Amino acid sequence: MTDIGIIAVGGYDEVGRNMTAIRYGEEIVIMDMGLRLDRVQIHEDAETEKMHSLDLIKAGAIPDDTVMNNIEGTVKAIVCTHGHLDHIGAIPKLAHRYNAPIISTPYTIELISQQISSERKFGVENELRILNAGETYPITEDISVEFIGGQHSIIDCVFAAIHTPQGIVLYANDFKLDRTPVLGDAPDFDRLKSLGKEGVVAMIAESTNVQRSGKTPSEQIARDLVTDVLVGTEETKSGVLVTTFSSHIARIKTIVEAAEKMGRRPLLLGRSMEKYSEAAKRLGYIDFSAEVRGSRRSIDKVLKRVMTEGKDEYLMILTGHQGEPGAVLSRIANASTPYEVEKGDKVIFSANVIPNPLSAANRYIIETKLRMKGVRIYDNVHVSGHASREDHWELLRMVNPEQVIPSHGELSMTSAYAELAEEAGYVLGDTVHVLRNGQELCLR
Ligand SMILES: [Zn+2]
């Protein structure tokens, strides 16, 4: 009988640089090739284009795929489930080593091709193949990949089911079970349930927020929070600056709609704001009419106009939610743009602080600078894109996999998932497996 192997390449010792290989006999499918952002001290506007793979591996910034040299078999496809950098950011550095197509959803493929074209060290010529949610693509005679619609903090995110003659391996990385999303459809629960009935031999599931009790609120709740802060105020003359994840298109749509309700013109400012929202617009995911400015010069020009025409005419959506130096919000706080911060201006962080000391320090610096100028700060106007404990419970019961492998987290997260699985009757080391980077688990 042909065996199935799960190789934990990256993202099992940390949050970031995700990469998992699924081996059926000697045929291998790679799931994700991500970057670990804090290891290169970068933010959304960062540049790693000129660095070599081995240096980035040494820095722990990309998955150490040299472990693949010890695996017998050939990589037949690289599959990415969404466009976050911790899932696609290492493609320019690693994909050229494999003679295999890269398969992903339309928005993700668009972001991947932008990544590849900005790469300066390696030429990546892998075929880029679009697969929509609900579609299946035959990778080899034995293996196919099916995309199942999901929800997360970026559009066009899917669950991936790898079908083999020995059963299905489901890759659930990343997801939230959002039944009332602001953009796109709710996860395809019917299909997930029917996969469970067909027979899932293994599920690889993210574990990032498994230690959070209860259920992650819907993006609809984030819309209420944002609207409450922006529209629900009697102070209507002050400057309003909102910062959020550039790739969170649903959230940006919400903020743009709030601007319209306030009678203000929305401005999207920052290089990554331009990159993610223009791509979403081009592919037809959004059609709002916000002005978008990416380059420093054009941003400064538009900010000059804001100062002349009046702050209360505009609502600005900016990069810099983690206080990243060089992002638009930091430049404004440092008084290095024509925008003059005044007492009473509002700054809304529609994001959480990413839990690492670098982000905490940057956020502290920027918030202090803004407060010293009399700015009112609204923190954490946000809901997460990751499943919480009871969402994980629900998916586990729905899919009912024979074996489960928690991923996308530090040991504290993957082992907390293992405890949850134990509550559902799984046995550690037998049917639930905590892996570390570099290890292979052979099923049966
Ligand atoms: Zn993600």
How far, in Å, is the centroid of ligand 1 from the Cα of 408?
Answer: 9
Distance 9 CA to ligand 1 centre (A): 17
Ligand 1 centre to CA of 217 (Å) is 16
**Average pLDDT of every residue of the chain:** 94
Average pLDDT on 60-80 reads 96
Domains 4-215+385-443 and 219-378 share a fold: no
Q: How confident is the model at residue 47 (pLDDT cuts 50, 70, 90)?
A: low
Per the CB < 8 A criterion, the answer to whether 394 and 178 are in contact is: no
Quick check: 45 pLDDT over 70?
no
Using the mean position of ligand 1's atoms as its centre, give its distance from the Cα of residue 83 in Å.
7
Over residues 292-332, the pLDDT tens digits come to: 999 999 999 999 999 999 999 999 999 999 999 899 999 99
> How confident is the model at residue 49, as a pLDDT?
77
Average pLDDT over residues 435-444: 94
CA of 56 to the centre of ligand 1 (A): 21
pLDDT of residue 225: 97
Q: Residue 123: which pLDDT band, with cuts at 50, 70 and 90? A: confident
The CATH code belonging to domain 4-215+385-443 is 3.60.15.10
pLDDT band at 359 (very low <50, low <70, confident <90, very high): confident
Q: How far is the CA of 236 from the centre of ligand 1 (A)?
A: 35
User: What residues does each domain of the chain span?
Assistant: 4-215+385-443, 219-378
pLDDT confidence band for 77 (50 / 70 / 90) = very high
Between CA 328 and CA 324 the distance in angstroms is: 9
Strands of the sheet with 74-79, listed across from one edge: 128-130, 102-104, 74-79, 27-31, 19-24, 4-10, 440-443
Give the Å distances, CA to CA, from 145 to 9, 202, 261, 404: 20, 14, 43, 19
Query: Which residues partner with 240 through β-bridges?
Result: 346
Distance 297 CA to ligand 1 centre (A): 31
pLDDT in tens, 387-413: 999 999 999 999 999 999 999 999 999
> Using an 8 Å Cβ cutoff, are 254 and 222 in contact?
yes
Q: How far is the CA of 85 from the centre of ligand 1 (A)?
A: 8
- Residue 91 to residue 149: CA distance in whole angstroms: 23
Q: How far is the CA of 174 from the centre of ligand 1 (A)?
A: 5
CATH number for region 219-378: 3.40.50.10710
Ligand 1 centroid from CA 313, angstroms: 34
